[in-house]
A and B are shown apart, each in its own frame.
Chain A
Amino acid sequence: MAEIRLEQLAHSYHSAPSQPRDYALRPIDHVWEQGGAYALLGPSGCGKSTLLNIISGLLAPSEGRVLYDGKSVNDLSPQDRNIAQVFQFPVVYDTMTVHQNLAFPLRNQGQPRERIDARVREVAEALEIEPLLNRKAKNLTADEKQKVSMGRGLVRDDVAAILFDEPLTVIDPQLKWRLRRKLKEIHQRFNVTMVYVTHDQLEASTFADKIAVMYEGQIVQFGTPRELFENPQHTFVGYFIGSPGMNLLDVALGETGIEFDGRTLAVADAIVAQLRQREGERLQLGIRPEFVQLVAPENAVLHGYVDLVQDQGTFKIVDVRLDTPSAPVVKARLGEEANVPEGRTGVHFPEPWQRFYIDDHLVGVADENL
């Protein structure tokens, strides 16, 4: 069990990287504390698996260091790092039984038979695969195999951390939910650091206490699910977290304040003043669909026409096309019982939920409230 620290860690699959694009991971400084349950969330190809493989030692980083409890493990092989990793697709040893599969990592450590047996039973019970223990692993179904793969990660109780690389991809949704609960229980029971890679925000937020969001080889935000929702530090986090993602409008800093398509929006003077001090090329206003209000036309600065209403059962997503020159679509998420206006409507962005981004990074009063 250990704290895992990344220092200026970067990786490129090119032999001679020259530009940021060549890097799968751009320099990262990050700490996973001992005993935490973390998720690493990001779209496919953002470097999640690369980062995981570097932590476990399957891949040597091109730059920077990985430290376990303050000690560099860069030169240690995965065997010597004592770390467990569960892969996206099940890996079982075909010729062994389920019991032998689960016992394998412990046998390799040369642990006594009784201890191995006790651990195997404990993990098999937690994963509900006890009835399978004497079956040959070869003949299991895909989700049973994946449980066995996960079991091999969980069976070692002295590991620095357990890394999960999208482990529930092959599992059907109903079971997915139960297995996630199981993992959470196991985490609480064994108090081991777990890092869970996924591209599914729901999976991340149900499993993890804190989520690291990755985008283009960087961790753009590390925080609780609530922080990611309320104060996305980067436009990507706003867009990626939440369903639907954050509305982002290109705005400009004019004489009178924040202007959008020639209309001045109601924004606190303090924020306008703060934005004036910063430099940058692109200024964006972000607001979550949950906070967008559709009001009577005479009560709003912005107006638009309802384009589309999607009823999701417990809520509705309303697309409003603004009648300004650039005619962007603003999404609003309304309660099931809310009245959806027909035709022309006013659109209001309540000030406490407005977020401003300069070149994709959050600025303004909000970042002082963190």
Chain B
Amino acid sequence: MKTYNNKAWWLVLPVFVLVAFSAIIPMMTVVNYSVQDIFDPSTRYFVGTEWYREILADPRLHDSLVRQFIYSFCVLAIEVPLGIIVALSMPRRGLGVPVSLILLSLPLLVPWNVVGTIWQIIGREDIGLYGWILNSLGLDYNYASNPRDAWITVLVMDVWHWTSLVALLCYSGLRSIPDVYYQAARIDRASHWAVFRFIQLPKLKNVLLIAVMLRFMDSFMIYTEPFVLTGGGPGTATTFLSQTLTQMALGQFDLGRASAFSLIYFLIILLVTWVFYTAMTHNDNKE
């Protein structure tokens, strides 16, 4: 005899509460702000899509969106191949394994603002190792005044900070390939490239999907490092979306526009991630 009751709801209730407070309620608040013009709690007007239309026409948003996409593209284009190369060249057995794992994990343990500060110093042409070397080589490098240099520094910082993550994910993927695959490839006289293309890459696909999505989302939301390094400057060279948003929301206290902005921001990330996911998994469903 089975008993039917609704006890199971009590078991999922904590999750509901948690998600409600961590995601749904804050997000609905933002939605609420984005469709109203609020002066104080009793004086507010429903404005419909006005904020959205305004923000979509705002050149500031266009500029930082373009900047943001180029930046995220560069991050992925450098970190993913570099991470794979690092993972491929890591030792597969022996003492080298724990040593390289620890070395690779170190950058991941450094907080974002510390990374910014470190590179602020390393990049200085007088006392910074990186800046000094570049300038001694005759390159006119100055991240504080040259927009290009600042932009490259932010990119290098990210590569330094996060390539390890891609490398570690790929390494775990490579470790799951049984030795017999490599043996069969040697017997079949496969070149190194063929081994990579037909054995390693297919097995890496799933971890690469995770790596690409994580790195995309993270780099698309980058805030702390450029803020610490140059405060988004010089000019607006390193002012990415999140900083534009913060300036709008907290600097100008333009909550309606900022809310509309954050929802668009959120949808872009959702959309791009979905595109990545579909593109990388659609082959699995064939045949």
Shortest Cβ distance from residue A80 to the other chain B in the assembled complex, whole angstroms:
9
> Residue of A at shortest CB range from B190?
A108
Are A58 and B183 neighbours in the complex by a CB distance under 8 Å?
Answer: yes
| Complex-state Cα separation, A202 to B226, whole angstroms | 72
- Cβ of B44 within 8 Å of any chain A Cβ, yes or no, is no
| Complex-state Cα separation, A109 to B191, whole angstroms | 10
Are A108 and B188 neighbours in the complex by a CB distance under 8 Å?
Answer: yes
- Cβ of B194 within 8 Å of any chain A Cβ, yes or no, is yes
Are A139 and B287 neighbours in the complex by a CB distance under 8 Å?
Answer: yes
- Cβ of B202 within 8 Å of any chain A Cβ, yes or no, is yes
Contact of B186 among A79, A104, A136 (CB under 8 A): A79
Contact of A104 among B181, B188, B202 (CB under 8 A): B188
Chain B 154-212 residues near chain A, CB threshold 8 A: 180-181, 183-184, 186-191, 194, 198-199, 202
Residues of B within 8 A of A96 (CB): 198
> Residue of A at shortest CB range from B203?
A94
Are B189 and A95 neighbours in the complex by a CB distance under 8 Å?
Answer: no
Are A89 and B287 neighbours in the complex by a CB distance under 8 Å?
Answer: no
Residues of A within 8 A of B183 (CB): 53, 58, 78, 85, 87
| Complex-state Cα separation, A109 to B190, whole angstroms | 9
Chain B 235-287 residues near chain A, CB threshold 8 A: 286-287
Residues of B within 8 A of A139 (CB): 287
Residues of A within 8 A of B180 (CB): 87, 89, 91
| Complex-state Cα separation, A45 to B181, whole angstroms | 21
Are B287 and A78 neighbours in the complex by a CB distance under 8 Å?
Answer: no
Chain A 63-113 residues near chain B, CB threshold 8 A: 77-79, 82-85, 87, 89, 91, 93-96, 104-105, 108-109
Shortest Cβ distance from residue B178 to the other chain A in the assembled complex, whole angstroms:
8
Residues of A within 8 A of B198 (CB): 93, 95-96, 104
**Interface residues in B, total, Cβ within 8 A:** 16
Contact of A83 among B184, B187, B190, B286 (CB under 8 A): B187
- Cβ of A135 within 8 Å of any chain B Cβ, yes or no, is yes
- Cβ of A5 within 8 Å of any chain B Cβ, yes or no, is no
Residues of A within 8 A of B190 (CB): 104, 108
- Contact A105 B202, CB 8 Å, known A58-B183, A91-B181, A135-B287: no
Shortest Cβ distance from residue A150 to the other chain B in the assembled complex, whole angstroms:
12
Residues of A within 8 A of B187 (CB): 56, 58, 78, 83-85, 105, 153
Residues of B within 8 A of A84 (CB): 187
> Residue of A at shortest CB range from B286?
A136
The interface centre, meaning the residue of B198, B199, B286 with most chain A CB atoms within 10 A of its CB, is B198
Chain A residues in the interface with B (C-beta under 8 A)? 53, 56-58, 77-79, 82-85, 87, 89, 91, 93-96, 104-105, 108-109, 135-136, 139, 149, 152-153
- For the complex with contacts A53-B183, A79-B189, A139-B287, 20 further pairs of A-B residues with Cβ separation under 8 Å are A56-B187, A57-B186, A58-B183, A58-B186, A58-B187, A84-B187, A85-B183, A85-B184, A91-B181, A93-B198, A95-B202, A96-B198, A104-B188, A104-B190, A104-B198, A108-B188, A135-B287, A136-B286, A152-B184, A153-B187
